[in-house]
Chains A and B, each alone.
Chain A
Amino acid sequence: MDKIIKILSEIDPSIDFANETHLISDKLITSLEIMQLVAELSDAFDVEITPLDILPENFESVSAIKKMIDRLIEED
């Protein structure tokens, strides 16, 4: 979780990522930032995130992102 929060905070330090649960529906992060995040997460966790994984529900909160990463690691 901390690793994900650190990556997110580097992308936008003005958002309280630890407590936000509507990052996409409240339009807090943009698609450009999501792609930055995808690149960072792919490197940090050695997973391949495809366009099919880029769904709003996978990026709403840190726990949603973690769930997606865990699933991708398992699938690998």
Chain B
Amino acid sequence: MEKINQTNEEKKALKAQYNNKKKFVLIIGILINVGILAVVKYLNFFSGSINSVINLFNIAKHIPMVKIVLPLGISYYTLQAVGYLIDVYRGKYEAGGLVKVALFLGYFPQLLEGPIGNYDKLADNLFEGQPFNFKNVLSGSQLILWGVLKKVVIADRLSIVVSAVYGHYADYNGAVIVFAIILFTFQLYAEFSGIIDMVTGVSQIFGINLAKNFDSPFFSKNVSEFWRRWHISLGAWFRDYVFYSVSTAKWFRKMSKVIRKWNKPLLSTILTSAVSLIFVWLLTGLWHGASWKYVVYGLYYYVLMLLGLLIKPLEIKIFKLKDKPAPMWFNFLLIVRTFILVNIGMLIFRAPTLTVAWDIFIHIFGGGQINLIAAKVIDLPDLIMSIVSIALLLSVDYVNYRGISVRESIATKHCVVQMFFWIAVLFIIIIFGAYGNGYIPPDPIYGGF
């Protein structure tokens, strides 16, 4: 009996030793990947922040700023690489060969803006090679066309008004500012989701299926849901590798157990969520850019989510929602509330600095011109175009939200109808698209990350 116990202890010790080695290799792998990203993307941000502190003490010495060219797509493939390492460490799948992993990390279409892929879902699909399939080519091409329309016709046109107002916000007040903030939200959505559609379409032509990155985000009833529908692959990455790692860590479980013993369910939910979510939102903010503005952008959603947890029991009590679904009017109000909150987030995101974001926010309450055309922000055709664009985006999203795929519905129509529809899309791009001699298209916003 004693001998068996000894063997078991030995086995346990061996397992612990093996696990420690595994953890060590994982940490080294993460440090190398994140280290490269930290140097090329965040070095100047950290140096600048330290210099600001040094300035406070009137010390003459400063850390010099370094000019580093940010490698294309580094924020995306670094997350893919770290995700792969953690999955292998967790035993989700076995480590792949060098070529297969390199192919997964270097798959060009998704390098610029994602979606952030998972090795187990993408690598085989990429590595095996797919036979030519006309249906894939047709469907992929349609998705590319829809993506180009969103980018060139909707986003790039909206960007002209957005840049004009954000660039000279001091000249505008009230409705004009609100209009520009909302327009930017749709500009970013049309641009980012348009590029993702093109990436997904190109992949589909080659028989490669990429994960969905947007799912009717403006029909979300709270900000948590918004982040499950907006840039889905980023939210999923932080959930799988940061949130779950923190929430299942030994120290967290111990802390959570102590807190739950107080027998105050709401307080324990808020406290444990506050600890696990701070890592997620600080990192989400910083991932978007190396500046304090993005840190605040992340923390803004962090605070909103904690407030959401605090308010939820009250909502259930006040609107008598116990054991029954919320009525439609209530859901509509939640969607409007979420849309307003998301737009405030977008203001922080778009404004060049936090001070400017605050100034613009204050200008909302400055009264002034309500007539956008009289304020010379936009002419009538562009105003109509903007409204039609937003209505189109929301209509397509609403149909998708109801579980009906617009593209699949079109595909069921007679082939002549289908052909006319897609030719019409092509003509809309040619006629209304923002391009031509002397026109400099705006850089993709998410491409800068």
Q: Assuming A14-B321, A35-B276, A36-B269, is B90 touching A52 (CB within 8 A)?
A: yes
Q: Which residues of B in the span 222-251 have a Cβ within 8 Å of any Cβ on A?
A: 224-225, 228, 239-240, 243-245, 247-248
The answer to whether B257 and A32 have CB atoms under 8 Å apart is: no
* Alpha-carbon distance between A3 and B76 when the two chains are bound, in angstroms: 42
Chain A residue nearest in CB terms to B313 = A13
Assess whether B322 is in contact with A49, with CB atoms less than 8 Å apart.
no
Known contacts: A14-B316, A30-B224. The answer to whether A35 contacts B247 by CB under 8 A is yes
Instruction: Determine the chain A residues whose CB is within 8 A of the CB of B269 once the complex forms.
Output: 36
Who on chain A is nearest to B315 by CB? A14
The answer for the CA separation of A31 and B269 in the assembled complex, in Å, is 13
Point out the residue from B240, B324, B325, B326 that lies within 8 Å of A51, measured CB to CB.
B240
Taking CB atoms, residues of chain A closer than 8 Å to B360 are none
A52 to B241 CA separation, bound complex (whole angstroms): 11
Q: Bound complex: CA of A40 vs CA of B265, how far in Å?
A: 11
B243 interface neighbour in A14, A16, A31, A36, Cβ under 8 Å: A31
A73 on interface, CB distance cutoff 8 Å: no
Main secondary structure of the interface of A (DSSP, over half): helix
Main secondary structure of the interface of B (DSSP, over half): helix
Q: In the docked arrangement, what's the CA distance between A40 and B253, Å?
A: 10
B277 engages A14 (CB within 8 Å): no
**Would A31 and B239 count as touching, CB distance under 8 A?**
yes
Q: Are A51 and B244 within 8 A (Cβ)?
A: yes
Q: Across the interface, do A13 and B322 meet the contact criterion of CB distance under 8 Å? A: yes
Contact of B248 among A31, A32, A38 (CB under 8 A): A38
Q: How many whole Å from A40's CB to the nearest CB in chain B?
A: 8
Q: In the assembled complex, which residues on chain A have CB atoms less than 8 Å from the CB atom of B253?
A: 39, 42
Q: Is the CB–CB distance between A51 and B90 below 8 Å? A: yes
Whose C-beta in chain A lies nearest to the C-beta of B259? A39
- CB-defined interface of B191-206 with A at 8 Å, one 1/0 digit per residue? 0000000000000000
* Cβ contact within 8 Å between B322 and A52: no
Q: CB-nearest residue of chain B relative to A51?
A: B244
Tell me the complex Cα distance, A27–B325, Å.
Answer: 13
Provide the residues of chain A in CB contact with B244, threshold 8 Å. 31, 35, 51, 54
Judging by beta carbons under 8 Å apart, are A43 and B309 in contact? Answer: no
* B92 contacts A52, C-beta separation under 8 Å: yes
Interface residues of B in 357-373 (CB under 8 A from A): none
List, sorted by A's number, 19 A–B pairs whose CB atoms are closer than 8 Å: A10-B265, A13-B322, A14-B324, A14-B325, A14-B326, A27-B225, A30-B225, A31-B239, A31-B244, A32-B273, A32-B309, A36-B272, A39-B256, A39-B257, A51-B240, A51-B244, A52-B90, A52-B91, A54-B248
- Other than the known A35-B243, A35-B276, what 7 A-B pairs have Cβ atoms closer than 8 Å? A14-B316, A30-B228, A35-B273, A38-B247, A39-B257, A39-B272, A50-B248
